[in-house]
Structure 1
Amino acid sequence: MEDAGQSILHASCVALDALNGVLILGPSGAGKSTLALQLMAYGAYLVADDRVALRTDGPDVVASAPESISGLIEARGVGILRAQSLRSARIRLVVDLSRDETERLPPKRETNLLDRFLPLVLRVQHGHLDLAVLQWLKGGRHA
């Protein structure tokens, strides 16, 4: 479902609070829920897993969960788990697990969601993506 100011994506979303969320994109099996669970282990809250409803609010993109899956996250091989969740969060960062980062110090990347440009991070292969995303949400990126 998509119109000028709304969309539902196959994605996951977690947030430190209602103002600092990360949208995690990628194909099935790419690790969206795994990254979400890792961030939740460090204190982030679930916004949505598997399907994320997006809408615009002024300059921002706001994520929420469809009612039927609110507060639920899949842990592959374990089952569907209940999680402490936020009703919605403003997206401050997008992670795309379908593309690998090849640069040690990559340029600032952006992606377009609902005609809003948001910072983009690609999958890194060094085992610290969860920590880097968490710190990005806390402090942003320098240069």
Structure 2
Amino acid sequence: MSVLLHASCVAIDGRAVLITGESGAGKSDLALRLIDRGAALVSDDQVRLNAVDGQLIAAAPDTIAGQIEVRGLGIMAMAHRSPMPVSLLIELGAPIERMPEPRSRELCGIGVPAVALDPFEAVAPIKAELALRELGLRQ
């Protein structure tokens, strides 16, 4: 099964983090700040997802591979890593609970740990890295 998801995606330590949300929610902004902290771009705006041997794999569609939208500057070329195994889903615009229970979202028939974050908080990239470390290991 293959799905094209409206999302951005970065890789941290060889594991993909999907970032979903409405247009203008801050997906590319959070992706850029994670890249500034050492992550690698997988794909921006659209991510192709495939289930392969029980693992969710994220890849950039050929038409946008190696490109990221930087609001106010336009489409910029950037090195990217694709395909990558998905370990975490960050949902922008979802209600943020103070002490959330662990949850997941099913994509292509595979459960992926999910968290809600505010992408514009100064600590959002750090929270994303902590969530990957803590939740991504529970898969």
TM-score, reference length from structure 1: 0.88
Q: Equivalent pairs: percent with the same residue?
A: 38
Residue 122 in 1 paired to residue 122 in 2?
A: no
User: Once superposed, what is the RMSD of the aligned Cα atoms?
Assistant: 1.8
Gaps of 5+ in 2: none
Tell me the SS of whatever aligns to 1:43.
coil
Query: Which amino acid is the alignment partner of residue 80 of structure 1?
Result: I
Query: Which amino acid is the alignment partner of residue 6 of structure 2?
Result: H
Tell me the SS of whatever aligns to 1:61.
strand
Tell me the SS of whatever aligns to 2:44.
strand
Gaps of 5+ in 1: none
Residue 41 in 1 paired to residue 36 in 2?
A: yes
Residue 27 in 1 paired to residue 22 in 2?
A: yes
Shift of 1:123: 2.1
Assess if the C-alpha contact under 8 Å between 2:115 and 2:131 holds in 1: no
TM-score, reference length from structure 2: 0.90
Q: Stretches of 4+ moved more than 4 A in 1?
A: none
Residue range with higher mean Cα deviation, 126-135 or 90-99: 126-135
Residue among 47, 50, 58 paired with 1:55: 50
Tell me the SS of whatever aligns to 2:128.
helix
Residue 99 in 1 paired to residue 89 in 2?
A: no
Aligned length: 136
